[in-house]
Amino acid sequence: MKILNTHAGLGGNRKKWGPGHEVTAIEMDPKIAAVYQKENPNDKVIIGDAMEYVKKHRNEYDLVWCSPPCQKHGRMMKATRHDVADYFDPTLYQLIIFLTHFYKGKWVVENVKPYYTPLIKPTCVMGRHYFWANFEIQPINVPNIKGFITNSTANETQKMKDWLGIQYEGNIYYGKNHCPGQVLRNCVHPDVGLHILNESMREGLFNKLT
């Protein structure tokens, strides 16, 4: 299957897809993209803007998976004593509406449970994730790790790497975030990524445009 994996991050969702698929990954951060490429040497990794790529190239793929940034939607926005109040990032809903109306292959958009009632009802709620998709997704138990939210020391960060099966030297910081665990917390667990890929292949590949 030809898969477009956008906002690819370290490739948590991609980790267990195996070598049988032709995957193009789009990731804006070069350091994060380098880890993804090392983990998945046969994938085509493009450092650039996923939103433009989806617009231009979506029809070259059988499945499009998008994991746009979740920081401005997640419940941490309201759980901290610091003032982080901000407008939400509209790319999540831009992608869902765009793919619903302008893409006939299978697609899935992933994000975290938001602090507000989602503007578009998700197809599936699984663990800490919401998934919007044009195929049915049966929820499974999402693997969890102690201290998921707080893990930040070198030792704890290594445990997160082991939990995901993604290894790299030292720390990578996500944007302006000072916690080395954040880039790992951004990942979809590989078991969930594999489950969703399998769900996407349960029926035929192409749908009618709505």
Ligand X SMILES: C[S@@+](CC[C@H](N)C(=O)[O-])C[C@H]1O[C@@H](n2cnc3c(N)ncnc32)[C@H](O)[C@@H]1O
CB of 208 to ligand X, least distance (A): 27
Q: Is 27 in the site for ligand X (CB under 6 A)?
A: yes
Is 29 a binding residue for ligand X by CB under 6 A? The answer is: yes
What sign does the CA torsion over 8, 90, 1, 124 have?
A: positive
**Angle, helix 91-102 to helix 50-57, in steps of 10 degrees:** 0
Q: Candidates 28, 34, 125, 172: give the one binding ligand X (CB under 6 A).
A: 28
Residue 187 interacts with ligand X (CB under 6 A): yes or no: yes
Nearest to 106 by CA among 203, 6, 15: 203
Per CB under 6 A, does 191 bind ligand X? no
Residue number of the CB atom closest to ligand X: 9
Interaction of residue 49 with ligand X, rule CB under 6 A: yes
Q: Does 34 bind ligand X (CB under 6 A)?
A: no
The residue within the footprint of ligand X, chosen from 50, 64, 124, 160 (CB under 6 A), is 50
Number of residues that bind ligand X (CB under 6 A): 21
32 contacts ligand X (rule: CB under 6 A): yes
Is residue 12 at the binding interface for ligand X, with CB under 6 A as the rule?
yes
Q: Does 51 bind ligand X (CB under 6 A)?
A: yes
Return the sign of the alpha-carbon dihedral for residues 169, 111, 196, 5. negative
Interface residues toward ligand X, by CB under 6 A: 7-13, 26-29, 32, 49-51, 67, 69-70, 186-188
